[in-house]
Amino acid sequence: MLERRITFYCGEAGLPAYQLNQLKKLTPYFQSKVELFNVSQLTRAPVSQPLKMLALANKPHALCQLIINGSDAELANLVLTDFIAQYGLSLSQFSPSLPFKISLPLTSIYSGKSNQSYACINKAETIAQLSQMLVAQQAITSEQQPALQQALLARETISATVMGPGIALPHVMHEMITKPAMAIVCHHQAIDWGSSRGNISRAIAMVLPKPPLKAVIMAFAQFSKCLLNDDFCAALTSAQQPQELKALVIEALR
C-alpha cells in the first residue's frame, strides 16, 4: 500500500469549515484513506469528519500534513496538492520564529549505496558527516570538528541514541558550542545504529552550549518528546525534502 504526505501551513485563519468540506467532497473519488495530521498537536483526524478536522486546522499557520494511504495514493497526492496550493501555505511562504537562534544546516540525503564514494554507510561515517555540516553552517570551526565528532561518538558508547522508529538523535553539550545547532542526514536505506530499537534512516545531530539557556533546554526537551510519538517519527522518516524536514523540526522545537 502506498503512502504519500503533503506538508503545509494553514493560512491566517487556519482552514475554514467550507474549505474542509470541499476537501471531504474530493476524497471519495479515490480509493485511498486520507487523514489530516496536526504536527504541533500530534493529533490526526479522518478527512471524512470535518468537525474533527476543524479542531486541528483552525489555528493560524498551523503546520499540518495530509496523510494519504491506498492503491491510488499517487493520484490523490497530485489532486490534493493542488487543493492545498489554493487554500494553504507552502513551506516557503511562512517562517515560524523560535525564542532563540538555532543553526539548522540543509539536510544531506544519501542513498546509502556503497558504490557512491560520498555515501554514509555506518554510524561513524554519519556522525562525521553531521559534524562537517555543522562546520559548513559555522556552528563550529573546522579546528573544533574533530573534538565535536569525538564527543558525539563518545556519547554513543554510553547508549545508542535511537529515539523513535527509524530516527537517531546523536547529541552533546560542550563548551566549544556557542549557539544551539542541529544537522540532519537522511539515508534512503536504513543503517545499523547499534540499537535494539532497530535500524535508522534519519540521524539528527543536536549540539548545545554548556551551560545552555533555559529556553533552549525546554525546546530541545519538547523535540525529544516528539520523537517518542510514532506519528511524528513517521512524518520525519517519510519527508524527502530539506525544507519539509526543517519545518517539522522547527515545529517540534516551538
Residues ≥6 apart with Cβ < 8 Å to 177: 139, 140, 148, 207, 208, 209, 210
Q: Is residue 177 part of a domain?
A: yes
What is the CATH classification number for the domain harbouring 184? 3.40.930.10
Tell me how far apart the alpha carbons of residues 245 and 230 are, in angstroms, rounded to a whole number. 16
Query: Is there a contact between 13 and 53 (Cβ–Cβ < 8 Å)?
Result: no
Question: What does each of the 254 residues of the chain score in pLDDT, given as a tens digit?
Answer: 899 999 999 999 899 999 999 999 999 999 999 999 999 999 999 999 989 999 999 999 999 999 999 999 999 999 999 999 999 999 989 988 888 888 887 677 654 444 344 455 899 999 999 999 999 988 899 999 999 999 999 999 999 999 989 999 999 999 999 889 999 999 988 999 999 999 999 999 999 999 888 999 999 999 999 999 999 999 999 998 889 999 999 999 98
Query: Is there a contact between 20 and 50 (Cβ–Cβ < 8 Å)?
Result: yes
**62 and 150 in a common domain:** no
Tell me how far apart the alpha carbons of residues 220 and 249 are, in angstroms, rounded to a whole number. 10
**56 and 127 in a common domain:** no
Q: Specify the pairing of strand 108-110 against strand 181-191.
A: parallel
Q: Is the peptide bond prior to 60 cis by the omega test (within 30 degrees of 0)?
A: no
Q: Is residue 101 part of a domain?
A: no
**140 and 232 in a common domain:** yes
Tell me how far apart the alpha carbons of residues 174 and 59 are, in angstroms, rounded to a whole number. 37
**227 and 166 in a common domain:** yes
Task: Look at the pTM and tell me if it is higher than 0.95.
Answer: no
Q: Which domain holds residue 119?
A: 106-253
Q: At what angle do helices 242-253 and 214-226 cross, to 10 degrees?
A: 120
**Residue with grid cell 530499537, as numbered in its chain:** 197
State the first-to-last Cα distance of the chain, in angstroms, to the nearest integer.
Answer: 33
**231 and 141 in a common domain:** yes
Residues ≥6 apart with Cβ < 8 Å to 115: none
